[in-house]
């Protein structure tokens, strides 16, 4: 059974013309040693079609804007020392309140400057998130109360910590039989809002408070109950988008991702729904951190990649490429695993196409406003040595490259490095140097796990002037690409091989699975150096 994608010839003709440039090869291509050609005509295109239906949710349009609350959560007066705004203050216009216990650290117990600056920052940031970006407030404003920050270690009913203990989280407090998501923060990040604070990390601590407030929004929504990875990655995406938009407007150009996005870009064999990435035993962390055993000195995660749950790359793909309001849709509708929830809306064929498109766009740095950010990540981490993060757990050092190394077997098939073949929804990118036109690539899934139903291959490249050229994905057989009109920069074409199993089955086997395949190239092509900077299409190499 051949895998079908929603970019067949008929769809291209009906949906994409005149936006796409199509080139067809009508004659069958046969060459000694190649597979029998399948019915792939060599079509290619410059832009991907839109998803139909798409995923889109705007809280303000669906529910209307909320009124400004005038009361705090009903925490009894003898349970706290002070609250900002005061419990009886119905005049102060604030979406947020700050509860301080009787045992508060002296640096913040009566520090009105820190308290008011913190509330001002939260008011400003979350008003933009709601009023401009279309996200909901957390549960408290939805029920007529102000959102809340509770001071950790100050004697409030949320904890029994000391007033010198550190930390900050999204937590919850139960009042009147209802669990209310809140920010629970120690004195340290609160004091960072005081201009007198000299902590070197003061600004990052202030930003971290916004991060936890975003988690309070997420905790108030029905989605992602089996997706710890998305709680962090979507949070980083939302805060980064907030920062870029307010500073540069909605037409900004992003020059960088957060550094923990490295694994999504430099190790594409990792699954999309993955917590802590590629573990030291060769398995992958599950969507809810299944298989992850912590960090140094005894954990099983690798340096940098071990923080892949903080990657905003896939949420960026959803918000930048699929639909600006796609990530809110996920939180409102994908109540279990993320990809499974999206597939329920757009269908299996488009879900398979989404996996392939995501991986191919990363291969070409074709990420809209984040194109330079992808390119910067490649340039920064190419060749970096990745080892175990733990002192007592060994893993073979990996020299970082987004490209999959291969070796040729006796029959001329390219065999990928088995350590980095794709996990579920993972991919390999194989750079191919081409001497002349056309290029023909044969592809076959290999082994019991890999079939034409769950594997696909796509050829794509950038031209020297930056045009993106995508071939039609195919599940097995041979595919021919001509370069009469568009020529690949540095004569390099990428074969992007994907696994399409988007449903996380919940057992350890899927975390162990590496999906194997074979490639064979026409005689005018050879594998390119996997440490070459082929992502720099505008640089002669």
Distance separating alpha carbons of residues 332 and 223, to the nearest angstrom: 5
| pLDDT attached to residue 16 | 31
User: CA neighbours within 13 Å on the CB side: how many for 272?
Assistant: 29
The answer, yes or no, to whether residue 311 has pLDDT greater than 90, is: yes
Helix axes 228-248, 112-131, angle to 10 degrees: 90
Question: pLDDT of 429-469, one tens digit each?
Answer: 999 999 999 999 999 999 999 999 999 999 999 999 999 99
How many CA atoms, within 13 angstroms, populate the side-chain half-sphere of residue 40? 32
For 148-171, the pLDDT digits (tens) are 999 999 999 999 999 999 999 999
- Rounded Cα distance between 187 and 201, Å, is 14
Q: What pLDDT does 39 receive?
A: 33
Give a three-class secondary structure readout of 424-450. CCCEEEEEEEECCCCEEEEEEEECCCC
Top-tier CATH class for 65-221: alpha beta
Query: What percent of the chain has a predicted confidence (pLDDT) above 70?
Result: 92
What is the predicted pLDDT for the residue at 60?
84
Treating both helix axes as pointing N-terminal to C-terminal, what angle do 326-333 and 338-346 enclose, rounded to 10 degrees?
100
Q: Give Cβ neighbours of residue 465 (< 8 Å, ≥ 6 apart).
A: none
pLDDT digits (tens, 9 = 90+) for 260-285: 999 999 999 999 999 999 999 999 99
For the segment 64-78, what is each residue's pLDDT rounded down to a tens digit?
Answer: 889 999 999 999 988
Predicted local confidence at residue 295, as pLDDT: 73
DSSP state of 336: S
pLDDT of residue 7: 41
Residue range 316-373, pLDDT digits in tens: 999 999 999 999 999 999 999 999 999 999 999 999 999 999 999 999 999 999 999 9
Residue whose structure tokens are 């392939």: 356
Residue 36 pLDDT level (bands cut at 50, 70, 90): very low
Q: Where are the domains of the chain?
A: 65-221, 235-286+304-381
**237 pLDDT higher than 80:** yes
Residue 507: the pLDDT is 80
> What band does 42 get if pLDDT is binned at 50, 70 and 90?
low
Question: Is the pLDDT reported for residue 33 higher than 90?
Answer: no
Task: Give the confidence band of 85 by pLDDT, cuts at 50, 70, 90.
Answer: very high
The Cα-based distances of 187 to 79, 124, 190 in angstroms read 18, 21, 5
Task: Concatenate the DSSP letters of all residues of 138-171 into one string.
Answer: -HHHHTTS-EEEEETTSS-TT----TT---EEEE
The vertex-303 CA angle with 297 and 305, nearest 5°, equals 130
């Amino acid at each position: 059974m051949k895998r079908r994608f929603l970019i067949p010839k008929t769809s291209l003709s009906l949906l994409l013309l005149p936006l796409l440039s199509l080139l067809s090869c009508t004659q069958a291509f046969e060459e000694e040693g190649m597979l029998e050609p399948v019915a792939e005509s060599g079509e290619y295109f410059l832009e991907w079609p839109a998803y139909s239906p798409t995923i889109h949710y705007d809280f303000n349009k669906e529910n209307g804007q909320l009124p400004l609350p005038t009361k705090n959560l009903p925490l009894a007066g003898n349970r706290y020392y002070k609250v900002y705004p005061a419990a009886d203050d119905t005049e102060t216009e604030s979406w947020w309140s700050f509860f301080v216990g009787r045992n508060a650290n002296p640096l913040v117990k009566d520090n009105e400057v820190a308290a008011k600056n913190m509330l001002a920052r939260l008011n400003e940031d979350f008003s933009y998130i709601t009023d401009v970006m279309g996200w909901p407030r957390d549960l408290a404003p939805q029920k007529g109360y102000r959102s809340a920050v509770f001071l950790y270690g100050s004697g409030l009913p949320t904890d029994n910590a000391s007033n010198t203990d550190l930390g900050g989280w999204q937590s919850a407090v139960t009042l009147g039989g209802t669990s209310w998501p809140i920010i629970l923060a120690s004195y340290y990040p609160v004091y960072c809002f005081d201009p007198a604070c000299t902590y070197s990390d003061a600004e990052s601590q202030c930003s971290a408070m916004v991060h936890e407030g975003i988690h309070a929004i997420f905790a108030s929504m029905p989605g992602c109950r089996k997706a710890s990875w998305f709680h962090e990655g979507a949070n980083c995406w939302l805060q980064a988008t907030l920062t870029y938009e307010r500073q540069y407007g909605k037409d900004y150009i992003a020059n960088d991702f957060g550094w923990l996005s490295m694994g999504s870009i430099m190790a594409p064999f990792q699954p999309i729904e993955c917590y802590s990435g590629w573990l030291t035993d060769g398995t992958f962390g599950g969507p809810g951190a299944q298989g992850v055993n912590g960090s140094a000195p005894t954990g099983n995660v690798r340096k940098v990649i071990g923080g892949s749950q903080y990657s905003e790359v896939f949420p960026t793909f959803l918000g930048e490429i699929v639909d600006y309001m796609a990530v809110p849709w996920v939180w409102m509708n994908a109540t279990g695993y993320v990809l499974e929830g999206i597939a329920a809306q757009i269908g299996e064929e488009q879900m398979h196409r989404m996996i392939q498109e995501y991986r191919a766009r990363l291969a070409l740095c074709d990420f809209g406003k984040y194109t330079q950010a992808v390119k910067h990540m490649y340039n920064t981490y190419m060749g970096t040595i990745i080892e175990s993060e733990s002192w007592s757990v060994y893993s073979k050092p990996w020299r970082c490259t987004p490209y999959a190394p291969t070796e040729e077997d006796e029959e001329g098939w390219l065999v990928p490095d088995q350590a980095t073949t794709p996990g579920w929804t993972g991919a390999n990118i194989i750079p191919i140097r081409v001497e002349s036109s056309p290029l023909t690539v044969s592809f076959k899934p290999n082994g019991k796990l890999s079939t034409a139903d769950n594997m696909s291959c796509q050829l794509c490249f950038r031209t020297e002037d930056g045009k993106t050229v995508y071939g039609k994905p195919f599940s097995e057989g041979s595919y021919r690409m001509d370069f009469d009109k568009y020529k690949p920069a540095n004569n390099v074409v990428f074969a992007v091989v994907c696994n399409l199993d988007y449903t996380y089955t919940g057992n350890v086997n899927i975390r162990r699975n590496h999906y194997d395949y074979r490639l064979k190239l026409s005689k005018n092509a050879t594998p390119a150096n996997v440490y070459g900077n082929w992502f720099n299409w505008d640089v002669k190499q």
